[in-house]
């Protein structure tokens, strides 16, 4: 296909505004089998692979559409919607000339709408603004159009309306993509220059590399070179995603597709690398992507020490499919052998944890998440710290820095006061307020990332009755009044319970953590004192008094099945406990420090 008849685009939207539904609808209009249908169809043959932990990840699809006498090739490149994966959005956008910016006709412009629109503009993409869900009886198309014009520098008259659900207006969206999005530039006869924008692992074929050809042509059997990695490979197969892999003989400038080169592991493929020729003068390297930054860390420990090997195997497998996640072994006095894991954000952490529990069937003890800190010691050394346990003693610290983020909240104006109070309570710095319409506003604050990841999202939702949304970007590291707070159980410091917090919050946090722990830790045959301390200074204490009666005593004379149930329940509970010294600490207690932020 001549580049003239190719269009490369993404759909960007706030979560739930209908991106997947619209993508399915476009595939239906173009007679392409949809991801959802394909999943169902493939379910049977893939059952085994699924059990082995392979996920079907679809990132791109090629569709064909006849328009004004020409056959167009339309490449839709997928972007994730969540704030944690913003770097993936930017990576997909590099391969496109245009983006459909989708906005829910009832919800209107939300935090990620703004973030995604800016990202698309930064990449100089042609934006096709579309309002979805116009079928809703409570849709407010005029106001939403106005919001889009006001915040996104879009002309209201350019906004298309559609319903991805009923199909109304979707054909027009497709045709607008053809008309408004520029054709890719590039010379099919020049030296090969292609961008690697993703890679997935296939158990049978090895690494499957996703590329967008910028210049030149890549052919089956050709020897190619990954410029950054410096490796050469032979192209064994290449083709398009329809969304199934469909082999072709070549991919030329402007086209999007895949390469299979007998590459055994994913770490041999650098996302953002440039593919060129193996012999002769290679093309210029394309600008790469920023490495994804792990912002949130936590410890993961098997609740039964023997599962350590199993946990390592499961993590090894996960990282193959998701290189943005990282882990390294760590030892805790309290929890034994485990791993320190780094995530892009809190949602990413939840996803990984869920997959581990589901796919690998391992009982995990997770420690409270923390952000990365930068510490300058008195000796002038700067260290990056991923766990509170590694924070040096107060006397050795010259400067203690934490990540600061710029947070944008989009919300109905009546909740501005509530969110301002929330941010002020967390020592946020006010940046600005922008009105999207008379009833909706965008509020911008700079806040410590630690405060944002713990519970900002929940607080936002409860303060705005679910109507507020947020997005954030990293600004950098700034010195803070931070301290490491330790927790002592029966006089022993439990390293996995240490947290970093603002000095001015320490007393309140300490008391709250101790109180929570008192609820979570069961009574023992002896008294268990609990303390919170900064260095040697105890800031809070409580006692769990000794137990007097046997638990089963209550059942005396009762029927035996009830007794058995009680025992089983205790056994079940035991499984998720850690014995530290002589004290049993349930898994939930390790998250106690979280709920008191």
**Which residues contribute to the site for ligand GTP (CB under 6 A)?**
13, 15-21, 81, 132-133, 135-136, 163-165
CB 128 to ligand GTP: min, Å: 16
Angstrom distance (rounded) from CA 476 to CA 188 = 42
With respect to ligand GTP, which residue has the nearer C-beta, 127 or 286? 127
Contacts 24+ apart (CB under 8 A), 523-532: 523/547, 524/582, 524/583, 524/584, 526/582, 528/489, 528/490, 528/583, 529/488, 529/489, 529/490, 529/491, 530/487, 530/488, 530/489, 531/487, 531/488, 531/491, 532/485, 532/486, 532/487, 532/488
CB 113 to ligand GTP: min, Å: 11
With respect to ligand GTP, which residue has the nearer C-beta, 110 or 307? 110
Angstrom distance (rounded) from CA 161 to CA 131 = 5
With respect to ligand GTP, which residue has the nearer C-beta, 20 or 222? 20
**Which pair of tokens denotes residue 327?**
């882990």
Rg (Cα) of the chain, in Å, rounded?
A: 27
CB 93 to ligand GTP: min, Å: 16
Q: Which of these, 116, 114, 148, 152, lies nearest to 131 by C-alpha position?
A: 148
With respect to ligand GTP, which residue has the nearer C-beta, 139 or 260? 139
134 labelled ligand-binding: yes
396 labelled ligand-binding: no
Q: Residue 150, SS3?
A: helix
* Helix (DSSP H) and strand (DSSP E) numbers for the chain: 12, 34
CB 105 to ligand GTP: min, Å: 8
Angle between helices 449-463 and 416-425 (to 10 degrees): 150
With respect to ligand GTP, which residue has the nearer C-beta, 133 or 426? 133
Q: DSSP secondary-structure letter at 494?
A: -
Q: Residue 101, SS3?
A: strand
CB 132 to ligand GTP: min, Å: 5
Pairing state of beta strands 70-77 and 6-13? parallel
With respect to ligand GTP, which residue has the nearer C-beta, 91 or 133? 133
132 labelled ligand-binding: yes
348 labelled ligand-binding: no
Angstrom distance (rounded) from CA 299 to CA 364 = 10
For 322-376, where are the alpha helices, taking DSSP H only? Answer: 346-359
Angstrom distance (rounded) from CA 118 to CA 95 = 16
CB 362 to ligand GTP: min, Å: 27
16 labelled ligand-binding: yes
21 labelled ligand-binding: yes
CB 24 to ligand GTP: min, Å: 8
19 labelled ligand-binding: yes
142 labelled ligand-binding: no
Q: Report DSSP letters for 239-295, one per residue.
A: EEESSSEEEESEEETT-EEEEE-----GGGS-TT-EEEESSSSPPPPPP-PPPP---
CB 30 to ligand GTP: min, Å: 17
With respect to ligand GTP, which residue has the nearer C-beta, 21 or 437? 21
With respect to ligand GTP, which residue has the nearer C-beta, 144 or 544? 144
20 labelled ligand-binding: yes
593 labelled ligand-binding: no
Q: Which of these, 333, 315, 335, 312, lies nearest to 325 by C-alpha position?
A: 315
Which residues belong to the annotated binding site?
16-21, 132-135
Which residues belong to the annotated binding site for GTP?
16-21, 132-135
């Amino acid at each position: 296909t001549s580049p003239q008849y190719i269009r490369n685009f993404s759909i960007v939207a706030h979560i739930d505004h209908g991106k997947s539904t619209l993508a399915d609808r476009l595939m239906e209009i173009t007679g392409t089998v949809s991801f959802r249908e394909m999943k169902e169809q493939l379910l049977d043959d893939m059952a085994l692979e699924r059990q082995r932990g392979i996920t079907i990840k679809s990132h791109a699809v090629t569709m064909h559409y006849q328009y004004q006498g020409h056959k167009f090739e339309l490449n839709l490149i997928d972007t994730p919607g969540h704030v944690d994966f913003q770097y993936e959005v930017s990576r997909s956008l590099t391969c496109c000339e245009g983006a459909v910016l989708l906005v829910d006709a009832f919800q209107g412009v939300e935090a990620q709408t703004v973030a995604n629109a800016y990202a698309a503009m930064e990449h100089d993409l042609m934006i096709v603004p579309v309002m979805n869900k116009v079928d809703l009886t409570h849709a407010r198309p005029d106001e939403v159009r106005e919001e889009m014009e006001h915040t996104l520098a879009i002309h209201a008259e350019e906004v298309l309306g559609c319903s991805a659900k009923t199909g109304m207006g979707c054909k027009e969206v497709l045709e607008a993509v053809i008309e408004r999005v520029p054709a890719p530039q590039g010379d099919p006869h020049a030296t090969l220059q292609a961008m690697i924008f993703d890679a997935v692992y296939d158990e049978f074929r090895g690494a499957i590399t996703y590329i967008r050809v910028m210049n030149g042509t890549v052919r089956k059997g050709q020897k190619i070179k990954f410029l950054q990695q410096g490796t050469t490979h032979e192209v064994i197969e290449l083709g398009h995603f329809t969304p199934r892999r469909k082999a072709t003989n070549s991919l030329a400038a402007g086209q999007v597709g895949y390469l299979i080169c007998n590459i055994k592991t994913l770490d041999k493929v650098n996302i953002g690398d440039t593919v060129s020729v193996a012999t002769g003068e290679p093309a210029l390297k394309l600008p790469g992507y920023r490495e994804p930054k792990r912002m949130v860390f936590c410890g993961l420990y098997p609740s039964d020490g023997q599962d350590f090997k199993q946990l390592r195997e499961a993590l090894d497998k996960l990282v193959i499919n998701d290189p943005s996640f990282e882990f390294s072994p760590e030892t805790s006095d309290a929890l034994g052998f485990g791993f320190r894991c780094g995530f892009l954000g809190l949602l990413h952490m939840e996803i990984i944890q869920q997959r581990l529990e589901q796919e690998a069937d391992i009982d995990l003890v997770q420690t409270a998440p923390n952000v990365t800190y930068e510490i300058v010691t008195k000796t002038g050394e700067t260290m990056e710290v991923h766990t509170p346990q590694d924070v040096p003693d107060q006397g050795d610290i010259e400067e203690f820095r934490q990540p600061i983020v710029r947070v944008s909240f989009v919300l109905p104006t009546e909740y501005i006061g509530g969110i301002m109070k929330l941010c002020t309570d967390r020592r946020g710095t006010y940046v600005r307020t922008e009105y999207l319409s008379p009833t909706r506003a965008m509020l911008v604050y700079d806040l410590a990332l630690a405060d944002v990841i713990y519970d900002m999202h929940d607080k936002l939702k409860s303060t705005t009755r679910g109507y507020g949304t947020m997005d954030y970007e990293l600004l950098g590291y700034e010195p803070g009044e931070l301290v490491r707070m330790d927790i002592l159980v029966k006089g022993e410091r439990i390293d996995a319970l240490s947290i970093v917090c603002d000095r001015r919050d320490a007393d309140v946090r300490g008391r709250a953590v101790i109180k929570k722990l008192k609820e979570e830790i069961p009574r023992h045959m002896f008294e268990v004192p609990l303390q919170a301390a900064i260095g040697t200074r105890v800031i809070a204490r409580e006692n769990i008094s000794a137990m007097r009666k046997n638990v089963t005593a209550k059942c005396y004379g009762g029927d035996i099945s009830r007794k058995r149930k009680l025992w089983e329940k205790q056994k079940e509970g035991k499984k998720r406990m850690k014995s530290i010294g002589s004290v049993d600490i349930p898994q939930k207690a390790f998250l106690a420090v979280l709920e008191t932020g």
